[in-house]
Structure 1
Amino acid sequence: MTIDEKLPLIDPIWPTRKTDALSQMGEFLDSSKFRNESITRLAGAVQIPSESYDDLGKIGEDKRWDTMYDVAAYLEKTFPLVHSKLQLDKINTHGLLFTWKGSDESLKPTVLMAHQDVVPVAKATISQWTHPPYSGAFDGKYIWGRGSSDCKNTLVGILEAVELLVEAGFEPKRTVILSFGFDEESSGKQGAGHLSSVLQERYGNNGVGLIVDEGAGVSPAWGTFFATPAVTEKGYIDVEVTVRMPGGHSSIPPPHNGIGVMSEFITVVENNRHKPYLAPENPFLELLQCGAVHAPDFPSKWKSLLPSKGKENPHKVAKLAEEVAESSDFFKYLFTTSQAVDIIGGGVKANALPERTTALINHRVNIGERVDDVKEHLTKLASQVTKKYNLTLHAFDGESETPSSLTLSNPKGELEPAPLTPTEIDALTPYVVISGTTRALYGEKLNVAPALMTGNTDTRYYWNLTKHVFRYMPGWDPEDDAGLGNIHTVDEKISVTNHINVVKWYNLFLQNIDEAELP
């Protein structure tokens, strides 16, 4: 792809199907009555503390799962038309799979996703919240509380949009699936893992038209705004590091014990970070190209380094990656494998030398690179330390730990970067419908360009179902600089305007995708 390609912005797309009921629905979406009702619905969902923990036990045994019953009951009470019109299958107890059967079975279904669970609120932080974390408080502009922007806004917004369409008598030609997991914040295995298996059995490989899940949204950049539906996400691997060294009494210590050796290894790792690499297939390159044409403050130096048709220059792209990476960490990690030492442990007593020291290094693998690149990188660094201290190195070989050794392993598995969703605009595609819907809602001044997720979503379990997977948060409040405020931390909140635009977007998108001449 070059700077001369994919530069035209997609025209707004509006549905052509007109009825009095649909027109009245559109007017109702702009009313104060709907605004107040929507505030109440989202606030009520936020008030349910559906926290998801990494150490949850089996469903039916661990009582912490039981808050999901409260979510399901609340949704059933709040969205009666959805529950009466759509088929609801409860998957693995708490997974909610709604099917709105279309009239044309030859059309591949649309899947809309969200998750019911939220990140736990640490008790030590409760006093720091402006409003209690599960109050769902409304201050005239924001709805406050855990889950308000991740992602009960999406969960409720989708259901509000469908409820209104059902009430207006809308009958889809293309089947619509609503797939709501319940453990995305821990792993997604119990929720999305089981939901995707049901859809796989029902529709088979590439049997779904497209998927829209939570993800990237609208952000300011270079003097303008970009809506950035993510069309891929980075890979993932947690590497466990274990150093085994002789113990003994701390009164007669060796020059370097296990904790010291581990500390040195971590220092070596942090001093040898992965280098930026902007692969040709990385969608961030397309975002840069869009910015070069449509953003008034796009750096001229970057523009000179962007590839042009017939003049692709890897050295210039490498220089571009360096320049952009230096401008911000946010940009840098859109095309750089990240590494973070998140957990460390060792020693059991003040007067006993540590016999076993452990650490965990989290990696998000760059587009255009592989998990094996991470393994090779760490193995090379570890060999420097093991040679220095005469330790045996076990690097991803499946061998058990041995005395006087350093072991690298990844017992929790690994995930390669996600397949790329097509973003061609020379024909009608799901990407075109998403972009055109966005520009219809917000106006032609808003740019739309593809992007990527640095983290992982529940879509990781759905890759076989379709080539068209979008991670996108379509809500936007142009007058709110905070955007999706404080996700995963104190004072999580969302503006009412942002949330209502979520509802409007899904409402409009479902009408547009139903009319689109796609398989």
Structure 2
Amino acid sequence: MYEKETLLPHSQTTGLHVRPRPLWLTFAHVAAFCLLAKISFDAFISPSFTSHDGAELLSKCPQVEPLFPSQDTPELSKMDAYIASPKFVNETAARMAGAIQIPSQSYDDLGPVGEDKRWDVMFDLAEYLEKTFPLTHTTLKLEKINTHGLLYTWQGSNEDLKPTVFMAHQDVVPVAESTVDQWTHPPFSGFFDGKYIWGRGSADCKNNLVGILEAVELLIDAGFQPKRTLILSFGFDEETSGKEGAQHLANALISRYGKNGGAVIVDEGAGYSTIWGTPFALPAVAEKGYIDVEIIVRMPGGHSSIPPVHNGIGVIAELAMLIEANRYEPHLHTENPFLGLLQCGAAHSPEFPSKLKKLLPSHNGAVCSKKDKLALEAAKEGDMVKYLFTTSASPDVIGGGVKNNALPERTRLLVNHRVNVGDHTSDVQERLKKLAQQVADKHNLTVNAFGDVVETPRSITLNTNKDVLEPAPVTPTSVNGVTPYSVLSGTTRALYGEKLLMAPGLSTGNTDTRFYWDLTPHIFRFEPGWDPENEGFSGIHTVDEKIGVFAHIKGIQWYSLFIRNMDETELA
């Protein structure tokens, strides 16, 4: 009502009378401007995007040639053949099984490192890795960072070259006792059935941890001597926060090599998918932001036999429903990597939807409508797609009241948000503040929002914890000249063939790379192992987690190729 009133003409004042412009005329002028802008765009700009020969579309999704290392000694050739042999299949499956059998679970309520005995399982895993990969542990320098962080350095001969950094985490999400009997094979068995390796951590991400060490062990055995330093940085609490592991590891590396001192980082992340009839590799070059907002409603207590019309539980439930009823609109900001995937689909995929292809050329930041037509159309593919370019708001935890005959005096709601690339956590705060104010006005409450606020009687208080994280900087994906993305792309296409296309991907969650932004702008969250015949369910974070042994071995091959390709590039 207030906003509508501000658009209406003010009452007549003394002095010269100026007839106010009718509201319909204002709207007509705006509509005419939009129409004129659209006509201009269609006439002069759009044709350059929609040329029928497809050259413009192809230019937006260039593909690099497969990249093979030139150094190919007899020992390295023998190594490549060994990785592809049946003997290696059984050996690496056994090594993976041994890692899975160590239940390195991390819990949200873990106490300090060195005090909480539940951390001690990490000693067992470190000892297992040392025993299983002896050449790595005698050749590389190993530092223990904050007790359980494993930082390996394979020193290169050319100190002018920035190091390559491989990341993985040692910890796994806990297995709920109530679900153990639902597993096809026990969750910490590491059972190998000839096709899959089963168990918690097999796909998240002991496959990366073991795969990286397998590649390094094999290269050492083959006599490979790197020119470019290789860093292996393995955290141990990624599944809870990364603050004890990755944060300390990143600080050590940034202190040692300086800001932008790394050439490239490859961590866990997105993998491969067949979309619109075309297989794509989708290394995540960005991550959504993160913010938890705690909402506290304080209202008078009393005996439950004399209830008011609304108590704190009802009020906070009303606010939760208001949050769900006011979901964020899909929006594709120009920096969002999903826009690049759409451009790749339009350029290369025969089954790419015609509606999306029609909307792509006109998608830009200067639109008259608040509705992002391209994003809304793409969102029809379902929530898994929609939330790649939409801020999510999810009420996840609620509590209030202490007794069945006492009205709640303090009720709490926790709302988790994953912030769209191009948006900011401050946008979330402002939106929640407005929604809370609507409920507060209705129930005669005050709103205390963010900053150094305190809870007061009859109030709604909004707070954030310390884990507020803006969307990650977007990794450059230029392939002009030799770039980290071009090396990653060329390595991937060398391993899987030219039918596989590269496109930028996006992670809706957050990895340990959140602490490494200052080490290099070239961060790729990528799961390099892929079995095109087995793209199905991997069970990450749930029952029956498993990984196909073929995909695991392909990951080992990829790490080996990437190390050698990075060693031969002209990147500083």
User: What interval of TM-score do these two structures reach, taking the shorter chain for normalisation?
Assistant: over 0.9
Residues 1:315 and 1:230: Cα distance change in structure 2 (over 3 Å): farther
Check the 8 A contact 1:238/1:412 in 2, yes or no.
Answer: no
**Which residue in 2 is equivalent to 1:493?**
546
Distance 2:392 2:106 in 1: 25
Residues 1:277 and 1:312: Cα distance change in structure 2 (over 3 Å): closer
The 10-residue stretch of structure 1 (407-416 or 184-193) with the greater mean CA deviation from structure 2: 407-416
In the TM superposition, what whole-angstrom CA distance separates every residue of 1:425-454 from its partner, at most 9, and x where no partner exists?
A: 121100001111110000111111011110
**Which residue in 2 is equivalent to 1:382?**
436
**Which residue in 1 is equivalent to 2:187?**
133
**Deviation for aligned residue 1:9:** 1.5
**Which residue in 2 is equivalent to 1:239?**
293
Check the 8 A contact 2:148/2:235 in 1, yes or no.
Answer: yes
Aligned residue pair count = 517
Distance 1:93 1:116 in 2: 13
**Which residue in 1 is equivalent to 2:490?**
436
Distance 1:268 1:24 in 2: 63
TM-score (structure 2 length as normaliser): 0.89
**Which residue in 2 is equivalent to 1:26?**
80
**Which residue in 1 is equivalent to 2:462?**
408
**Which residue in 2 is equivalent to 1:369?**
423
Is 1:331 paired with 2:389?
A: no
- Indicate the SS of the match to 2:524: strand
**Which residue in 1 is equivalent to 2:561?**
508
**Deviation for aligned residue 1:224:** 1.7
Is 1:301 paired with 2:352?
A: no
Check the 8 A contact 2:483/2:571 in 1, yes or no.
Answer: yes
**Which residue in 2 is equivalent to 1:74?**
128
Check the 8 A contact 1:4/1:308 in 2, yes or no.
Answer: no
Amino acid at match of 2:543: V
Amino acid at match of 1:511: R
Residues 1:420 and 1:355: Cα distance change in structure 2 (over 3 Å): same
**Which residue in 2 is equivalent to 1:14?**
68
- Indicate the SS of the match to 1:414: coil
Select 1:396's aligned residue among 442, 450, 469. 450
Select 1:56's aligned residue among 96, 102, 110. 110
**Which residue in 2 is equivalent to 1:176?**
230
Distance 1:510 1:32 in 2: 24
**Which residue in 2 is equivalent to 1:476?**
530
- Indicate the SS of the match to 1:500: helix
**Which residue in 1 is equivalent to 2:174?**
120
In the TM superposition, what whole-angstrom CA distance separates every residue of 1:147-171 from its partner, at most 9, and x where no partner exists?
A: 0000000000000000000000100
In the TM superposition, what whole-angstrom CA distance separates every residue of 1:84-130 from its partner, at most 9, and x where no partner exists?
A: 00000000000000000000000000000000000000101111111
Distance 2:535 2:66 in 1: 25
Distance 1:140 1:20 in 2: 30
**Deviation for aligned residue 1:506:** 0.3
Check the 8 A contact 1:52/1:185 in 2, yes or no.
Answer: yes
Distance 1:56 1:185 in 2: 12
TM-score (structure 1 length as normaliser): 0.98
- Indicate the SS of the match to 1:156: helix
**Deviation for aligned residue 1:409:** 0.4
RMSD of the TM alignment (CA)? 1.4
Check the 8 A contact 1:3/1:308 in 2, yes or no.
Answer: no
**Which residue in 2 is equivalent to 1:291?**
345
Distance 2:544 2:156 in 1: 41
Amino acid at match of 1:451: G
Distance 2:158 2:398 in 1: 55
Check the 8 A contact 1:3/1:307 in 2, yes or no.
Answer: no
**Which residue in 2 is equivalent to 1:258?**
312
Structure number with bigger Rg: 2
**Deviation for aligned residue 1:313:** 6.7
**Deviation for aligned residue 1:327:** 1.8
- Indicate the SS of the match to 1:89: strand
Distance 2:260 2:381 in 1: 39
**Deviation for aligned residue 1:60:** 1.2
Amino acid at match of 1:446: L
Check the 8 A contact 2:61/2:503 in 1, yes or no.
Answer: no
Select 2:331's aligned residue among 273, 277, 280. 277
Amino acid at match of 2:170: Q
**Deviation for aligned residue 1:504:** 0.6
**Deviation for aligned residue 1:315:** 6.3
- Indicate the SS of the match to 2:559: helix
- Indicate the SS of the match to 1:463: coil
Q: Which structure 1 segments of 5+ residues have no match?
A: none
Check the 8 A contact 1:6/1:425 in 2, yes or no.
Answer: no
